[in-house]
Amino acid sequence: MLGDEILVGDDQTLAVVNNSILPQIILSDTGLLFLGIEPQTKRPWFVISAQENAPENQELLQTIGRFVPPREALSFLPPSDLALAGRALSLNNWHQNNRFCACCGTLTISTAGGEKRECISCEREYFPRVDPAVIMMVVKDDACLLGRNASWPEGVYSTLAGFVEPGESVEEACRREVMEEVGIKIGDVSYAFSQPWPFPHSMMIALVAQALSSKITLEDELEDARWFSRKEAIAIVNGTHDQVTQPFSRASSGVLLRNWALKK
């Protein structure tokens, strides 16, 4: 990686840096981080964080691939590479942003292959964090609710989402977020699936939320929110809706919408 960008090979998979190149790379403070063991080959995987302001790195690494912004890379990498890339992005970001001890302000150092950081003065340990967030398909009868943020490209609508606050259950976070964003009361909430979301270290908990009311009252957060029929939802999933598109079909929002539209 170079900053947040991921090195991708010509075959559109993660580029593998071999031993002939590795010693020549000027590493950033984050250096080498252990990602895990590949189950089939038993080979260890590491992410290499190259120093950004070293032109030698650019020159060297561009002989085996090209640097791609993370969101773009996650849209085309094969499923086998997605988990590695996601873990690499999250870990790398956490290490870059936790270089000083929150208790005494002294430098921290990466230990145990990047599994934690330790303060070199007070020895306090810090572990990578994961922030739980809820993302919910709000449904009522045969309609679903999607909203859009003013900063998104025109026509993009998505499921509602928000972070779980301290002291809240997942269900409470879902009901609060929906009430805050669109003024709709939620009854039953059911779990659908979860997805690590490495921007920078969220865990998206995907839910289906049954609405008890249908009148939408917009607050500041969203520019618009609407109810869509199942027929419209199918058109959005298929990319044939004349006004609305979804943001990213592989993300939780896209999967929730597709599953509901196609009744999986």
Which residue's entry shows tokens 């009901």? 175
Nearer to Zn ion, 104 or 218 (CB): 104
Nearer to Zn ion, 119 or 160 (CB): 119
Nearer to Zn ion, 37 or 122 (CB): 122
The minimum distance between CB 171 and Zn ion, in angstroms, equals 37
Q: Which residues contact 149 (CB under 8 A, 6 or more apart)?
A: 221, 222, 223
Nearer to Zn ion, 26 or 122 (CB): 122
Whether 121 contacts 106, CB under 8 Å: yes
- CB hemisphere CA count around 98 (13 angstroms): 24
The minimum distance between CB 101 and Zn ion, in angstroms, equals 3
The minimum distance between CB 111 and Zn ion, in angstroms, equals 14
Alpha carbon of 139 to those of 151, 213, 256: distances in Å? 25, 10, 11
Nearer to Zn ion, 87 or 95 (CB): 95
The minimum distance between CB 131 and Zn ion, in angstroms, equals 23
The minimum distance between CB 96 and Zn ion, in angstroms, equals 18
Whether 5 contacts 14, CB under 8 Å: no
Which residues share a beta bridge with 47? 33
Binding site for Zn ion (CB under 5 A): 101, 103-104, 106, 119, 121-122, 124
- The CA distance from 40 to 86, in Å, is 20
Nearer to Zn ion, 124 or 140 (CB): 124
Nearer to Zn ion, 37 or 103 (CB): 103
The minimum distance between CB 58 and Zn ion, in angstroms, equals 35
- The CA distance from 224 to 219, in Å, is 9
- The CA distance from 10 to 50, in Å, is 20
Phi-psi region of 43 (alpha: psi -120 to 50; beta: other; left: phi over 0): beta
The minimum distance between CB 106 and Zn ion, in angstroms, equals 5
Q: Is 160 exposed, middle or buried (0-12, 13-18, 19+ CB in 10 A)?
A: buried
DSSP state letter for 22? G
